Structure 1
Amino acid sequence: MKKSVFTKKYKKLRELLVQYRDEANVSQVELAKRLGTRQTFISKCELGERRVDVVEMMLIADALGIDPVDVIKELKKVSD
């Protein structure tokens, strides 16, 4: 099994996080404030320079007002 960061599903996760943030009309700076972190954390996650774990994904989803289960459902549609 290859590392998850090199899969189509992980790329889709990053794309979804950007998409949901954009749809919520939330900047990286605002999302970082909501999470109590820095904008660079958000940027690195979205660019794939930092791995997002499941707990972080849930926190990001909550901060954007989306259901983390919806994110997972979208990822299940992607074949690797």
Structure 2
Amino acid sequence: MAKTLHSKRQEVLVAAIAQQRRAKGLSQAQVAKALGRHQPFIANIESGERRVDLLELLALADIIELDVHALIDRKRQVEAVQPV
């Protein structure tokens, strides 16, 4: 399996996280604090430097009210256009 850190799927994920965080009017520092982390943790996720695992994604999604199901659907749409 190819590395996914700089894949189109990863780009969709980090864009969705950053967009939803901003839409909710939250700073990276606020989200990080809610997760019990430091701000660079969120910055590294949003910049694509750090992959987020499933449990982190679910916690993050709760804080920024990100619809994970819709995110999965978007990922599938990207794969339909650009197969993995």
Query: So what's the TM-score if we normalise by structure 1?
Result: 0.89
The match for 1:42 is: 42
8 A Cα contact 1:13 1:71, kept in partner = yes
The match for 2:25 is: 25
Compute the RMSD of aligned alpha carbons.
Answer: 1.2
8 A Cα contact 2:5 2:49, kept in partner = no
Q: Which runs of 5+ in 1 are unaligned?
A: none
The match for 1:6 is: 6
The match for 2:76 is: 76
The whole-number CA distance in structure 1 between the counterparts of 2:12 and 2:68 is: 14
Which consecutive aligned stretches of 4+ in structure 1 deviate over 6 angstroms post-superposition? none
Query: So what's the TM-score if we normalise by structure 2?
Result: 0.85
Identity of aligned residues (%): 35
Task: Kindly state the Cα deviation for residue 44 of structure 1 after the two structures are TM-superposed.
Answer: 0.5
Larger radius of gyration: 2
Q: Which amino acid aligns with 1:14?
A: V
Task: Kindly state the Cα deviation for residue 6 of structure 1 after the two structures are TM-superposed.
Answer: 2.6
